[in-house]
Amino acid sequence: MSVIRPIDHLLRKLNGPSGVSGQDFERVAAVRLNLRYMKAGAEIIREGDRPSQCCLIVDGFAARSKSIAKGKRQIMSLHQRGDLPDLQGLHLDHADHDLIALTECRVGFISYNIMEELIFLSPAIGSFFWREALIDAAIFREWIVNIGRREGLPRVAHLFCEQAIRLKQQGLGDETGFPNFLKQTVIADATGQSGVHVNRIMQALRRRKLVETNDDRLDILSWEGLVAAADFRSDYLHLR
């Protein structure tokens, strides 16, 4: 029974078919994280920041978001433990959006110098980071489609399908459900709708026996039904 270290959730991803092993793997395992606790609602990174450290989500859930005129907010992505929602800092000098904690979070910071050194010493690690960033982008594209072309209910259903699959990769959920970190206002901001409307969509999803929620879990009552309602295909997640 070994203790789970903060870096382990990142290592879990490397452990897969990423091609990072042996000495390279050990190099990542040896990285020292600068750990911080964040309260729910805290800004981990703020738009305009020029961060010198890259951030790894160790525990909890976070979201990238932007606020525009009139206090409207849009969430562009959701993040869980093991995610590096901040890779763009490697090559872009300022953050163009916020990173906010949706729940209480533990985050680990790694200086970009160390990141660059890892990439320099190991092409396999570089490829792994590349791939993470490219999948990120693929998810952005799918969100554009989701928000631009699907109606309210399919849009929310699609979000749930995506989360179920992504959370499963980190052992946080599966096709039967996942921890309920998605408040209705978060769903609203992630799908580009009003809170009131999302509330009515949730009622419809319950009525159709697709989804049930309580304080700590979102249960998917029929995976096939939800997938059909969402018109969901997982190709864009590039699972392997």
Q: Which residues bind a second copy (CB under 8 A)?
A: 47-48, 64, 66, 68-69, 72-74, 76-77, 87-88, 90-94, 96-97, 120, 123, 126-127, 130-131, 133-138, 140-145, 147-150, 191-192, 231, 235-236, 238
Helix locations, 17-122, DSSP H: 22-29, 112-121
Residue among 38, 62, 99, 202 that touches DNA (CB under 7 A): 202
Least separation in angstroms between CB 155 and DNA: 7
The angle at the Cα of 8, spanning 4 to 12, to the nearest 5 degrees, equals 125
Residue 217 interacting partner from DNA, a second copy, none (CB closer than 5 to 8 Å by kind): none
- The answer to whether residue 216 forms part of the interface with DNA (CB under 7 A) is no
Q: How far is CA 116 from CA 5, 103, 182, in A?
A: 22, 30, 34
Scanning 10-18, 119-127, 149-157, 232-240 for contacts with DNA by CB under 7 A, the matching segment is: 149-157
Report the alpha-carbon distance of residue 167 to residue 131 in Å, rounded: 18
Of 125 and 188, the one with the shorter C-beta distance to DNA is 188
Of 46 and 206, the one with the shorter C-beta distance to DNA is 206
Residue among 88, 111, 176, 185 that touches DNA (CB under 7 A): 185
* Phi, psi (rounded to 5 degrees) for 79: -135, 145
Residue 194 interacting partner from DNA, a second copy, none (CB closer than 5 to 8 Å by kind): DNA
Report the alpha-carbon distance of residue 107 to residue 223 in Å, rounded: 32
Residue among 184, 222, 223, 236 that touches DNA (CB under 7 A): 184
Least separation in angstroms between CB 133 and a second copy: 7
How many other C-beta atoms can be found within 10 angstroms of the C-beta atom of residue 29?
13
Scanning 47-55, 89-97, 118-126, 179-187 for contacts with DNA by CB under 7 A, the matching segment is: 179-187
Residue 235 interacting partner from a second copy, DNA, none (CB closer than 5 to 8 Å by kind): a second copy
Length of the chain: 240
- The answer to whether residue 200 forms part of the interface with DNA (CB under 7 A) is yes
Are 95 and 49 in contact by the 8 Å Cβ rule? The answer is yes
- The answer to whether residue 183 forms part of the interface with DNA (CB under 7 A) is yes
- With CA atoms as reference, report the closest residue to 109 among 240, 7, 218: 7
Report the alpha-carbon distance of residue 20 to residue 72 in Å, rounded: 41
Residue among 16, 194, 219, 239 that touches DNA (CB under 7 A): 194
Of 124 and 198, the one with the shorter C-beta distance to DNA is 198
Task: Using CB atoms within 10 Å of the CB of residue 182, give its burial: 0 to 12 exposed, 13 to 18 middle, 19+ buried.
Answer: buried
